Chains A and B, each alone.
Chain A
Amino acid sequence: MNAALAEAVIAGGRPVAAEAVLDARGLSFAHAGAGTVFDGISLSIRRREIVALLGSSGCGKSTLLRVLAGLETPATGEVRFLGQPQAEPHPRSALVFQQPSLLPWLKLADNVGFGLDFAHQPRAGKAALAARVAAAIEAVGLAGREGAYPAQLSGGMAQRAALGRALAREPELLFADEPFSALDAITRAEMQALLVDVVHRWHSAVLLVTHDIDEAILVADRIVLMGGRPGHLVQEWSVDIPRDREDHPDAVAELRLAILAALRHASP
């Protein structure tokens, strides 16, 4: 096995990294009447770490993301954000969805700044918020389009705006649920590179939910494979391939085959 690919089977009771931004222990979740979605899931995300949660459609990874983001309450287990038990979504976390889900009645700048002045958000001056919005728009390459409405943006531009909206919250942790799977292949590649670039500049950690093995390998520092019914974490890989990873096709291909082999074992 390539030395660049350190492989580790998920084991219970892993020591919690001191710099964990998110730490989840023993999570399970069940929909009323629909049975257990996932069970026995422990996952820790370090500061500035990009973690890809990889799994087939319907394996419960989106539900897991919502539980980790504080949008759903787990049946058992606990989620800690920056060491504190999380009862509701943390102000220093942000969401990006598969669809841009911009508010069509707001200009781009107002979409990016949406909700920053809500009652439960940390207090910040108008000028400080405006600067955060401007920096986020600049980072996602939409400077000059502040006055545009969502209907006037292409699909790729709208998803850039959605990423900007998440950045404006200066997140410690960005939850991204298949954020690029609705985009064409060329735009998707651009957005993957942009995501890595901006989260490095913003010093944010990312939990990227995806069913795209290549996306996970190109973007993530660590890949966690989810599978089974009820869902559980099957295996994980640290991705030590230097960036840009397109320049190391052999290492990418080797990891890809390792993940495919694991997927074959995981599926019944």
Chain B
Amino acid sequence: MTGLLFPLAGLLAAALLWAAGAGWMESTTPVASAFAPMATAEALQALLLGSDLWAHVAFSLQRVAVGLAIALALGIPLGVLTGLSPLFSTATTPLFQFARMISPLSWMPIAVMVLGVGDAPVYFLLAFAAVWPILLNTAAGVSQLDANWLLLARSLSATRIETLLSVVLPGITAHILTGVRLAIGIIWIVLVPAEMLGVSEGLGYFILDARDRLAYSDLMAAILVIGFLGYLLDHAARSLHRRWLHA
């Protein structure tokens, strides 16, 4: 029970501060009442019972899945290559470190110009944001493979395929899953601003739409949903990692 007590106390304290802040602002800015916890809770209840919000959530999660899939499809092979070939690693490390530090959102105007309006530039931004942690963790996994595992495989006269399937790929899976967890965190953060341009569904769009409708309680409710879904996604990625390691 005490394991839940302190996290709940922290959340409760934050809700109290939230209520106090909204109440204090209300005296000078009447609209602040729409941001208060109770108004948000009522809006959230209405949204959860309706179908609109769920549709936006489904679009956003689908974009997360596509973005992550593209990042995995590019990041794992490039990471294996980086981990295996010192030449490729030396040639690409400065480039990757450079590209990694560019905020994905700064590509947004170019992405829209090149890929047009719609889902494509969002996928590009998400994949571009997510590919680096997957690539770098895969490379680290390959270079940190236990040399004794490879010796063991050789002492069993393992074929290349046997070594790849029974030692290398399972041996780097934990690192790839670490990369996936970091990638999901980044994707979820990039997703909302990426959905604020050129698309008409998704949680980012919903935030802008709520602002335009002056539905500030809906806006606050959407923020709570974004935080909660992000927490769930991270939790899922973490438990996948733990399950794999059986720790």
From B158, B173, B174, B247, contact of A120 by CB (8 A): B158
Main secondary structure of the interface of B (DSSP, over half): helix
Q: Are A121 and B157 in contact (CB under 8 A)?
A: yes
List residues 82-141 of chain A with CB under 8 A from any CB of chain B.
88-89, 91, 93-95, 97, 99, 101, 103-105, 114-115, 118-121
Q: Which residues of A contact B159 (CB under 8 A)?
A: 118-120
Stretch at the interface among B129-137, B143-151, B221-229: B143-151
* Binary flags per residue of B65-79, CB closer than 8 Å to A gives 1, else 0: 000000000000000
Q: Are A95 and B151 in contact (CB under 8 A)?
A: yes
Given contacts A103-B167, A104-B245, A105-B244, contact A119 B162 (CB under 8 A): yes
Which of chain A's residues has its CB closest to B163's CB? A118
Asked if B152 is at the interface (CB within 8 A of a chain A CB), the reply is yes
Given contacts A105-B173, A118-B162, A151-B246, contact A91 B151 (CB under 8 A): no
* Binary flags per residue of B204-230, CB closer than 8 Å to A gives 1, else 0: 000000000000000000000000000
Q: Are B155 and A71 in contact (CB under 8 A)?
A: yes
Query: In the bound complex, how far is the Cα of B158 from the Cα of A91, in angstroms?
Result: 11
CB distance from B213 to the nearest CB of A (A): 50
Asked if A76 is at the interface (CB within 8 A of a chain B CB), the reply is no
From B152, B156, B247, contact of A121 by CB (8 A): B156
Given contacts A103-B167, A104-B246, A105-B173, contact A120 B155 (CB under 8 A): no
Which B residues form the contact surface with A (CB < 8 A)?
146, 148-149, 151-159, 162, 166-167, 170-171, 173-174, 244-247
**Beyond the given A89-B157, A120-B157, could you list 17 further A-B residue pairs with CB under 8 A, ordered by the A residue number?**
A91-B157, A95-B152, A101-B149, A101-B152, A103-B149, A103-B170, A105-B170, A105-B246, A114-B156, A114-B166, A115-B152, A115-B158, A118-B157, A118-B158, A118-B159, A120-B159, A152-B246
Chain A to chain B contacts (Cβ below 8 Å), 18 pairs: A66-B151, A69-B155, A71-B151, A71-B154, A88-B157, A89-B157, A95-B152, A95-B155, A97-B151, A101-B149, A103-B149, A103-B167, A105-B245, A114-B166, A118-B156, A119-B159, A120-B156, A121-B156
